Each structure stands twice: as C-alpha cells, then as structure tokens.
Amino acid sequence: MTTSTVSNRAVASAGPAARKAAGPARNRRRSTLTGYAFMAPFLVFFLLFLIWPVVHGVYLSFTNQSLTGSGGQIIGFSNYLEAFTDSQMWGAILNTLWFTLLSTVPLVLIALAMALLVQMGLPAQWLWRLSFFMPFLLASTVVSLIWAWLFNPSLGLINSFLATFGIEGVAWLQDPRWSMVSIVIATVWWTVGFNFLLYLAALQNIPDQQYEAAALDGAGKWRQLFSITIPQLAPTTVLILILQVLASLKVFDQIYQLLNQAITPSTRSAVVYIFETGFTGYRFGYSSAISYIFFALIIIVSLVQLRATSRKSL
C-alpha cells in the first residue's frame, strides 16, 4: 500500500508516515493502534450520531414506522411512490428552491457591498463591523421574536414607517404575497454578517502591490474594482455561494418560528414538511423517505454547483 496523501500540503509533510509505512509490519500495527486510539473518541460520536442515523434513516424510509411506536413493518417503496405523487412535498421543495434563490442573491451582493464599503477605511470601523455582524450572534428564536414584532401589521415599526410616507402597510407574515419576502428580509438581516466577514477577510488578503501597479498604469478606482478586486474575490465568492445555497436549502427555524401556526402551502419549506410529517403527523417512515429525496436534491445542487464553479475557474 502506498501512503496516500489526502491533500497536497500533506505530501510535503507526510515524511515520517511514509517512512514508517515502509517499515516492518510490527511497526505498522503499532501505528495503526495509535491512529485508532486518536480517532476513537471522534469515531464513537461519528458512527453513533451520524453514520448510524444515515443508515437507519434509509431503513426507516422503507417502513411504516410511527412516532407512537406502532407500525414498523417493511412496506417496500410505498413511501417513495407516495412522495413522488405528493403535491405538498413538491410544493415544499419548490418553495425551498425559491427561498434559496431569493435569499442567496441579496446575501451575497449586500455582503460584498458592505465589505467593499468598510474596506475603504472610513472612520468608525468597529461600528460597521458591530452593526453588520451582531445579528449573526442571535439565536433564530430571538431574531423571530424581534421581526415578528417589526412586521406586526398594526403596531409594527415597518408599517408605521411606511405610514409616514402615506403608504398603507401590509400584513407581512400573514399575506401570502408577502410572507416569503418577509422571511427573506429577516434572514438577510440575520445572516448577512457572516458572508460580510468572509469577504472582508478575503479583501484584506489581496496584496497592495496589485493596486499600486494598477494605479501607476492609470487605472481608476472603478477599474481597479472590476479588474482586481472582484476577480481576486472569485474564490471567496464561490465558497460563499456554496455555503449560502446549502444553508438556505436547509431553512427551517425562521419559517417555523415566524409563521408558527400559519405555515401555508406557499411558505412550507422542505425541512418544515419533514418536521410536520414526522412529528405532527407521526409518520416517521414517510418523513424519512422525504428526507432522503430532499438529501438527494442537496447532493444534486452541490454537484451542479461544483461543476459550474470548476468550469469557471478553469
């Protein structure tokens, strides 16, 4: 067996490991023992709370197991067949994709704008960082409490602000035309700070020399922005896009908390539907099947992203 290195960096530093591998079998056994001694604590958790549930979930998806303990017989592909004709499930998946699109675009663009503006070096740096990042530190519940109050149709700040301009407010969370938009607004406020920080960190890694050279060539600031900054940020943008899309696909907290009893067919996300089917409807088996269909969707989206981004960077 050749020592396979898992990352390029490791090739350079895997000297001792490689030497040992070539050594006597006894050494090899010992190092395997050491290796597993180090791995063991993590593996216990990994196997028990990740691998096993993944496997067991597949099994459950082929049964009619109920939350109440009844059922549990293997019923073949019935759950999957039911899911493929379940308009509620497809609706929930479409809503999830719609939410992902609606939230990802502002979450990337606003974060980028914030980072570029802050990076200009204007006064009161700490204040900008604090303002944009602080919401990220809040639990979803706190965010939902605050935004449910801001969105309140008669007493909320938003409608009373609109009223000062003579605009009649809407029932943000209750009106089906606005509820998804409202959730996106609250989400952007809550999580944009994370992307903002990543952009800020990436901006600080762009060498000054590039700007100096460009300035000598007479490139204006806008030109520098588009010829240096944005291209240099491309890897970060790719990373943020991937993280953001994955995070948005998993949306649950805000929707469940902000809408609570009023989750409608137009606001039900995939994870909300998994939760409702399993815990409100007790149907563990069916809920597992939906989970895996949703999981497959996540894998597909990730692969598409990977392909799109690797082509771009080539």
Residues 190-249 that bind other proteins (CB under 8 A): 194, 197-198, 200-202, 204-205, 208, 211-212, 214-215, 221, 224, 236, 239, 243, 246, 249
Cβ proximity to other proteins: between 98 and 210 the closer is 210
Contact positions with other proteins (CB under 8 A) in 70-109: 70-71, 82
Cβ proximity to other proteins: between 94 and 176 the closer is 176
**How many chain residues are in contact with other proteins, going by CB under 8 A?**
135
Exactly one of 95, 100, 248, 287 binds other proteins (CB under 8 A); which one? 287
User: Quick one: which segment of 89-97, 99-107, 189-197 binds other proteins (CB under 8 A)?
Assistant: 189-197
Residue 311 C-beta: closest distance to other proteins, Å: 20
**CA pseudo-torsion sign 151, 154, 157, 160:** positive
Contact 206, 228 (CB under 8 A): yes
Closest CA to 259 of 180, 202, 197, 314: 180
37-71 burial, b at 16+ Cβ within 10 Å, e below that, comes to eeeeeeeeeeeeeeeeeeeebeebbbbbbbeeeee
Query: How many CA atoms lie within 13 Å of 276's alpha carbon, on the beta-carbon side?
Result: 18
Residue 291 C-beta: closest distance to other proteins, Å: 4
Distance CA 251, CA 191 (A): 12
Distance CA 246, CA 283 (A): 26
Who's near 17: CB < 8 A, 6+ residues apart?
Answer: 3
| DSSP state, residue 47 | I
Cβ proximity to other proteins: between 69 and 166 the closer is 69
Asked if 310 is part of the footprint of other proteins (rule: CB under 8 A), the reply reads no
Contact positions with other proteins (CB under 8 A) in 134-173: 134-142, 144-147, 149-150, 155-157, 159-160
Contact positions with other proteins (CB under 8 A) in 35-74: 35-36, 38-39, 41-46, 48-54, 56-57, 60, 64-71
**Tokens 């240099």 — which residue?**
232
User: Quick one: which segment of 90-98, 100-108, 122-130 binds other proteins (CB under 8 A)?
Assistant: 122-130
Please tell me whether residue 63 adopts helix, strand or coil conformation.
strand
CA 144 to chain CA mean position, Å? 18
Exactly one of 98, 178, 250, 305 binds other proteins (CB under 8 A); which one? 250
Residue 212 C-beta: closest distance to other proteins, Å: 5
Cβ proximity to other proteins: between 50 and 167 the closer is 50
